[in-house]
């Protein structure tokens, strides 16, 4: 029976980032997914520029719109416009993006195969045995990139570190116009509403990490009517959990690694998941290549390569808890040019959150002092 250098479960951004790097390096890669592509996937489809730069290929063919301005709105109806000389992010349709990335990954040399599900995973000293509904597969390494409901995670990790937030979205058709990207912190607790322009339509959604917040179709429909007008007709309603907790996860396996939502690499503050998916997927590939090349163990390499990402996600989680507990205070801070610039760089360009926190600690006391005067 063939033993693959790596078997990657999940052909989304994390799985494709991993499989593409492995295949490009000449490793044998089997990429598995239950879905046929293109597929419907709940995701607003915005890619920050740090994500665009991290990808190994241009995604220009699937970019709907480039954004250089966003607006942050607060419960008291105040707003903060944020503009950048360069693009903040680009807008894609997730179904188109995933199909495009999969095609690029197959082009790099990965073999894609649909499966009906995983029945069992056994990790031996030198390989991992995966039993699907139809066959048995063997790989030197296994990467679980199969999303928030990851079978790989459930079968190989205790999962106590893993948590979720929830989002629901829909599309509203409209004539092409110049729309801002909007993050609206008024409609939900511990989260936000968003409006993402995509040329011939806007994607509108609600995101919250509060388990008591009832995010459903009626809630989103009411928000769309209030935001865009009662005549706005929404379609393609879809909800999805986002996985986080990577900062608390301690990698224990020598041959099984988790990436993307499966590994909890979503930013709790912003809800952004594609950047963490790409970086963690590439880290898994680099870790596997390190051991295949006998340069270092895969486990310790993966821990090292994801350390900075995990630290930033941990800081983002702390900021999220503080910000959503008192959004008014956070908005007062964001009105200062220095911190607003730092936030923009952190969101779009990948400024380390440790540096952002340091700036915030310097700015917040001055902001509070000015407000009291």
Angle formed by the axes of helices 327-334 and 337-344, to 10°?
100
Q: Please give the Cα distance from 150 to 99 (Å, whole number).
A: 20
Q: Residue 257 has what pLDDT?
A: 98
Average pLDDT value over all residues in the chain:
88
Instruction: Flag whether pLDDT at 365 surpasses 90.
Output: no
| 44 close to 205: Cβ distance less than 8 angstroms | yes
Cα 6 to the center of its chain, rounded Å: 23
Q: Residues 176, 199: contact at Cβ < 8 Å?
A: yes
More confident residue, 44 or 90: 90
Give the model confidence (pLDDT) of 145-204 as tens digits.
999 999 999 999 988 999 999 999 999 987 656 677 898 988 998 899 999 998 888 999
Q: What is the pLDDT of residue 220?
A: 95
> Quick one: pLDDT at residue 193?
93
Query: Residue 257 has which token pair?
Result: 């690694």
Concatenated DSSP letters of 9-37? E--SHHHHHHHHHHHHTT--EEEEESSPS
The pLDDT tens digits of the residues spanning 94-146 come to 999 999 999 999 999 999 999 999 999 999 999 999 999 889 999 999 999 99
CA angle 359, 364, 365 (to 5 degrees): 115
At residue 66, what are phi and psi to the nearest 5 degrees? -110, 135
Token couple for 220? 């989103």
Determine the pLDDT at residue 360: 57
Distance CA 171, CA 93 (A): 11
Closest CA to 31 of 147, 112, 141: 112
Q: What is the pLDDT of residues 242-258, one digit of tens each?
A: 999 999 999 999 999 99
């Amino acid at each position: 029976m063939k033993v693959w250098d790596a078997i990657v479960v999940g052909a989304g951004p994390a799985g494709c980032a991993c499989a593409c790097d492995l295949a490009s390096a000449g490793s044998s890669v089997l990429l598995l997914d239950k879905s046929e592509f293109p597929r419907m996937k709940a995701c607003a489809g915005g890619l920050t520029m740090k994500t665009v730069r991290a990808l190994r290929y241009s995604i220009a063919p699937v970019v709907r719109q480039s954004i250089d301005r966003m607006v942050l709105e607060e419960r008291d109806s105040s707003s903060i416009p944020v503009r950048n000389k360069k693009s903040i992010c680009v807008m894609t349709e997730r179904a188109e993006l995933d199909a495009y990335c999969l095609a690029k990954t197959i082009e790099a040399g990965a073999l894609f195969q649909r499966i009906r599900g995983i029945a069992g995973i056994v990790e031996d000293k030198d390989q991992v045995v995966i039993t699907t509904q139809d066959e048995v597969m063997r790989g030197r390494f296994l990467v679980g990139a199969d999303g928030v409901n990851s079978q790989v995670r459930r079968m190989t990790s205790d999962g106590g570190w893993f948590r979720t937030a929830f989002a629901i979205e829909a599309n509203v058709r409209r004539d092409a116009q110049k729309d801002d990207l909007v993050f609206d912190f008024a409609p939900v607790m511990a989260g936000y509403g968003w409006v993402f322009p995509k040329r011939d339509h806007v994607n509108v959604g609600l995101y919250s990490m509060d388990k008591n917040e009832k995010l459903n179709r009626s809630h989103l429909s009411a928000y769309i009517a209030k935001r865009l007008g009662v005549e706005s007709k929404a379609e393609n309603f879809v909800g999805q959990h986002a996985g986080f907790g990577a900062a608390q996860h301690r990698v224990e396996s020598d041959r099984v690694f988790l990436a993307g939502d499966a590994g909890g690499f979503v930013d709790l503050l912003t809800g952004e998941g594609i950047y963490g998916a790409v970086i963690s997927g590439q880290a898994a590939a680099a870790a596997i290549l390190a051991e295949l090349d006998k340069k270092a163990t895969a486990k310790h390499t993966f821990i090292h390569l994801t350390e900075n990402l995990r630290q930033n996600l941990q800081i983002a989680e702390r900021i999220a808890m503080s910000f959503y507990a008192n959004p008014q205070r956070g908005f007062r801070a964001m009105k200062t040019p220095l911190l607003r610039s730092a936030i923009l760089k952190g969101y779009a360009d990948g400024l380390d959150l440790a540096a952002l926190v340091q700036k915030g600690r310097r700015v917040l006391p001055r902001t509070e002092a000015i407000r009291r005067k």
